[in-house]
Structure 1
Amino acid sequence: MPLSQNWGLTENGFIAPSYEEVLDSVEDDFISKFGTDIVLTSNSNFGILARLIAWRETLMIQELQKNYYSAFISTATDTSLDRVGSNIDVGRKVEHPASALIEVTTDGEYLIEAGETFETEDGYVFELERDITTTQQPDGSWKGTGWVESDEPGAMYNVEANKITLESNPDDNVLSVTNPEPANGGQDFEDDETYRARLLEENEAKPGPTAWGMKSALMELPGVRDVNPVENDKGYPNKWGDDPYSVHIYILGGNDNDIAHTIVNHMAEGITLVGSRAIDVMDATGNPRTVHFDHAIDKPVYVKVTLKVNEGWNDDEGADDVKAAVADYINHLIIGKTLFLTRLYPLVYSVDGIDEAVIEIGTNKGNMGGQDIVNEINEAVSCDESNIEVDVNGV
C-alpha cells in the first residue's frame, strides 16, 4: 500500500514512518511501475534496490524529525540545546575551577609567593593567586590569608573546610595551612539533563527583581547547585528569626563576590535582604551596597549497600553502577529536601543481578541506619561515590 500522507509536520507534531512502512511504499511503487510479476525478495535486484531506497529515505526523514525536535527545550540535545538556551539568554555552565581562602601560619614574618601550591590529603591541588605576607597577631602568632584556585576545573574541588592542609613543597617556615571555609565555584561541564532542567525552571522564573527571579540568575553561576530564597511577608519575624518583610537567600555553592554582584544586579529597590554574610559591592550606578545572604549547609551522606546477587551480577561494573545511581540521586536533591531511604531501593534494584538489598545511610560514617535524613530550609545533602560502600553477598 502507498505510504500514508499523514507524516511529516502535522497538527500532532512531526510524524515519522518506520523503515518497514517506507519499504512497503517503495515496493508498491515498483509493482505499479514494473508489474506484479517482479521479485522483491531481499536477495533479488528489485528487492535490493527497494531496500537501499527505503533506508536512505528513512534516514532523511529521521534527520528531519531531529531538526524539528531540536527547537524545543524538552527534546533538543547537545549544541541544539545550547542554541535553545541562548534564545532565553541562559547559557550552559562550563567547567570552572574552585577557589578558597586559606590561612597560613608561619615561623615569624614570611613571604609566600604567588604560584605556591597547596593540597588536600586526597591530592586536590590549589595554586596561590597572590603573594601572602604574614603579620603578627594579638596572640603572638604570624598569620596571613590569600586566595587559592584549583589547578583543574570541576565540582570535586569544592572541598570542605579545613581540607587544604598541605604545602606541595614543604617549607620549614610554614607551620600550618588550612581553609577555614569550604572551597566554592568548582563546576563540572553541565550535561544535557541538568541543563534542560534548569532551562525549564528558568523559563518559568526568568532572572529578575523577584525572589525567584534572583534564584534564576544565581543558578547560572559556576558551582551553584541550588538556591532557596525564603520570603517573610509578615509584619513580624518568622520562625527562623528573619526580619519582617525580608528575603533570606540560602545558596549551595558559588563564589561570594559573584553571588553578591548577581543579587545587586537583579534585586528590586526596597527589598530587605537578611543573612549572616555581608558582602560589599558596587551597583550599576557606582554606589556601594551591602548584600546579605547565607550559604546552605552541605551535609555529606555516607551509604552502605549490602547485596545478595545472582549470576546476572557484573563483578567488574555492578558495584560502580550502584554507587553512581545512589550518588546521582542524592546530589540532585534540592535545599530542604528530605532524603527518604526508601527512594534509594528502586535505584539499587535497577542494577542487574541483585536479589536482595539492605541500605543504610547517615551523615556520620560510624552511625548509619535506616532513618531518613531530614533537612532544614538551609540544609542539603550530597554524596561522593567514595562515601558509598557496596558489600556483595553480605545479606
Structure 2
Amino acid sequence: MTSEERFGVTEDGFVVKGIDRIIADQQTRARAMFGDDVDLTSGSALRKVLDAAAFDTHELWRALESQYYGTFVTTAQGPSLDLLGRDLGLRRRELRARGTVFLTLANEEDDRRYALPQGTVLLTEPAADTPVLAFRSTRTALLSTEQRSTTVEAEAVTRGETGNIAAGTRLRLDPEWARHNLDLGAAEVQAVAQQSFQDGDIGESDAVYRARLLGVPRTVWTQEALLAQVLDVNGVRDAAVFDPLGGVEATRRTFGTFRYGSRAFSRDRQTGSPYFFDIVVAAEPGWPWNSGEALVPGVYDEVLAVVRQWRPVSIFPDVLAANQVDVGMRATLVVEAGHDEEAVKGAILDAVRASVNRLRLGHGVLHSDIVLSSRTVAGVVDVRNLRLRRFAPAFGQTSYGGGVYGGARELSVGENLDLAPDEIARFSVETSMADLQVVVA
C-alpha cells in the first residue's frame, strides 16, 4: 500500500478518505458480492443506495478528522479548544463591551480647549439594584466653546455581558480619576451612551485564545510563568522581568578559576534570605497606576497581588512603571487628485497609531514600518522625507541601559527610533509632533 492509499491517522496527520474513493470501494464490494454484471449505473436502485451510504460515510470520516485535530491546541477549534483550555486551567475570556458615548461640555471658560485623553474613565450613575460600571475611552476627545459636544468610542473595564449597557444610559466622569488627571475648573462634562454597547457576551476568537493557551508555562516559577500572569492583569499593555542575578554571572573574578569538587564556587542562598527582582510594567493609556486614583483598580496593586501568589518564599518583586515615549512624525505626502486631504491625513495618523501602539517594551519604531502603514491608505501615492520624532520618557522610574531624558528630538530621514528595554512607544493622533504636508500628484 502506497502512502497515497493510506487513510486515517498517518505520519503526516489525519488523511480523510474522499467521496470518490468511498464510492469506488463500495462499488468494488458490490461487484464482489453480486457479481460483475450487477447494475451500478446512475439510475439503478443499488447505485442510489450506495451513493446515499457513501455520503454518510464521508461525513463520518470528516467527524473523525475533526475529533483527531481537536486534541491538539494548535489545531483545535470551538468547543474542542475550550476543553483543552479547561485542562490547562485557562478558560476563554469574554470580550469587553464597546460602544460610542456622546459628550457635552457645560460651564466652560472662553478661549479654552478641554482635552479628555485616551483612557478617560466614565462611570454609570449609582443605583440601588445595580453596581457601578466603569468604561474607558479609546480616543482623545477635544471640547471647547466652539465645539461643546462630540462622540468618542469607549469600552468596558470589566469583561463580560454586564458591560452591555443600553442606549441612553447616563455616564459621568470618575471624580477621582478626573482629580488626578484633569484640570476642568468649573467646567462640567456630561456623558450618555449614544448606542447600546455590544460584544460583551461574545468570547474571544479561537486565534486569540489559542495564542494564550500556547503561552501557558508548564513550570511554577520562571520568568515566563510570571510574565504570563502579569500580562493577564487588566490595564497591562506589556511587561518585562529584569533579574540581574539570574543565570551565571561570568563577570566575577573567580569564574573559570575554581576546581570542581575542591571548593564551592559560591555559597548557596540560605532559605529565608531576601532576593529581589524588578518587574517593569507598561500600563494602557489612562489606566491608573495606584489604587485610589479611580474606581478602576490600580495596575501596581493588581500586579503586586498576582505576583504574591506566585513568588517563592523570600522572593520580593519591585514593580516599576515603564518609561513611555511619545512618538511623532514629519513627512510630505503625495496624494492623488480628488481625495480629501484632511481625510487622508487622518487615516494615516490612525494607521500609524495602530502600528506603533502594538509595539512591546524595548521594540523600536522602524522607519520602513511607518512608510508601509502610510502607503496602505487609499489615495496616497508616495511618502517623502519621513522623519521620526520622539518626546522624552513620560516617567523616570527605571533605567536599564539606554533611557533618554531631556527634550524632544527629530531623527534623520530613514533613521529608526531605538528604544531602551524599559521604554515603550506610544503614538497619539492629537500629538503636536505630527506634521504632515500634502502635495497633490
Shared fold per TM-score greater than 0.5:
yes
Q: Which of residues 201, 205, 209 in structure 1 aligns to 2:221?
A: 209
Task: Give the match for residue 226 of structure 1.
Answer: 238
**Equivalenced residues, count:** 309
Q: Which of residues 122, 127, 130 in structure 2 aligns to 1:126?
A: 122
Q: Is the 8 A contact 1:88 1:203 kept in 2?
A: no
Alignment of 1:143-222 (within 5 A): 150-151=134-135, 157=137, 177-180=178-181, 190-204=204-218, 206=219, 208-222=220-234
Query: How many Å apart are 1:211 and its aligned residue?
Result: 3.4
Task: Give the match for residue 289 of structure 1.
Answer: none
Structure 2 vs 1, CA of residues 170 and 294 (structure 1 numbering), >3 Å: closer, same or farther? closer
Equivalent-residue separation in structure 2 for 1:341 and 1:80 (angstroms): 42
User: What residue identity is the alignment partner of 1:203?
Assistant: P
Query: How many Å apart are 1:232 and its aligned residue?
Result: 0.8
Equivalent-residue separation in structure 1 for 2:231 and 2:78 (angstroms): 20
Task: Give the match for residue 6 of structure 1.
Answer: 6
User: What residue identity is the alignment partner of 1:256?
Assistant: Y
Task: Give the match for residue 368 of structure 2.
Answer: 342
Equivalent-residue separation in structure 1 for 2:379 and 2:171 (angstroms): 47
Query: How many Å apart are 1:21 and its aligned residue?
Result: 3.5
Structure (1 or 2) with the larger CA radius of gyration: 2
Query: How many Å apart are 1:68 and its aligned residue?
Result: 1.5
Match of 1:380, SS? strand
Q: Which of residues 293, 297, 314 in structure 2 aligns to 1:270?
A: 314
Structure 2 vs 1, CA of residues 355 and 256 (structure 1 numbering), >3 Å: closer, same or farther? closer
Q: Which of residues 354, 359, 362 in structure 2 aligns to 1:333?
A: 359
Match of 1:67, SS? helix
Listed one character per residue, the Cα deviations across residues 36-86 of structure 1 (whole Å, up to 9, x for unaligned) are 675656x88777666554443333322221222122111122332232122
Q: Is the 8 A contact 2:277 2:316 kept in 1?
A: yes
Identity fraction in percent? 17
Alignment of 1:1-395 (within 5 A): 6-29=6-29, 32=32, 33=34, 35=36, 38=39, 52-96=52-96, 120=116, 126-127=122-123, 150-151=134-135, 157=137, 177-180=178-181, 190-204=204-218, 206=219, 208-233=220-245, 246-253=276-283, 255-274=299-318, 293-299=319-325, 330-343=356-369, 358=383, 362=388, 370-381=414-425
Note the residue ranges of structure 1 that are not aligned, 5 or more in a row: 99-118, 131-147, 182-186, 236-243, 275-292, 310-317
Equivalent-residue separation in structure 2 for 1:228 and 1:48 (angstroms): 65
Structure 2 vs 1, CA of residues 229 and 95 (structure 1 numbering), >3 Å: closer, same or farther? same
Equivalent-residue separation in structure 1 for 2:277 and 2:81 (angstroms): 33
Equivalent-residue separation in structure 1 for 2:429 and 2:230 (angstroms): 27
Q: Is the 8 A contact 2:238 2:282 kept in 1?
A: yes
Equivalent-residue separation in structure 2 for 1:13 and 1:252 (angstroms): 41
| Structure 2 length-normalised TM | 0.50
Query: How many Å apart are 1:163 and its aligned residue?
Result: 9.1
Structure 2 vs 1, CA of residues 158 and 52 (structure 1 numbering), >3 Å: closer, same or farther? same
Structure 2 vs 1, CA of residues 164 and 394 (structure 1 numbering), >3 Å: closer, same or farther? closer
Equivalent-residue separation in structure 2 for 1:91 and 1:299 (angstroms): 34
Note the residue ranges of structure 2 that are not aligned, 5 or more in a row: 99-114, 127-131, 150-169, 183-199, 250-273, 285-298, 337-343, 392-408
Equivalent-residue separation in structure 2 for 1:10 and 1:52 (angstroms): 27
Listed one character per residue, the Cα deviations across residues 147-206 of structure 1 (whole Å, up to 9, x for unaligned) are x9634xxxx64678x9999998999xx9x945439xxxxx996433233223222235x4
Equivalent-residue separation in structure 2 for 1:330 and 1:342 (angstroms): 12
Match of 2:62, SS? helix
